[in-house]
Structure 1
């Protein structure tokens, strides 16, 4: 690949840049998903609730992971503190 040609053609530069951005976003999402699964498994929830959160995370990967970090994680550690 001739880099001089790549940087002289704005359409090719845009295509390569957008593919790179998409790749970075996917890698970031995958890292967040793995962190959520590890966090769910390591949480002090009962086996049943852990299983429910894992099903939610795998059934709706984006929303399930967000729900875990926004709602589930804090609730899990609050429940442990009160028990």
Structure 2
């Protein structure tokens, strides 16, 4: 893409910028999901709870992953220390 043409048209610059932001957001969500799945599989939870958390993560990839890191992960490691 010609940079002079890109910077001469504000509409094209806006579209390109929005596309870049959207790509970064999508990549971030995918990275969060992959990290959550790896963390769930490596957690000290029982097999049943691991399956439940994986189902939550796959049913709602962004929200399920956030819930894992906010609620599930800390709870999993607190239970491990308690036993």
Give the structure-1-normalised TM-score.
Answer: 0.96
Question: Within 5 A, what are the aligned runs for 1:30-69?
Answer: 30-69=30-69
- Any gaps of 5 or more consecutive residues in structure 2? none
Give the structure-2-normalised TM-score.
Answer: 0.96
> How far apart, in 2, do the equivalents of 1:62 and 1:31 lie?
10
| Structure 1 stretches of 4+ moved >6 Å | none
How many residues get paired? Answer: 83
Quote the offset at 1:5 in angstroms: 1.3
Quote the offset at 1:2 in angstroms: 2.4
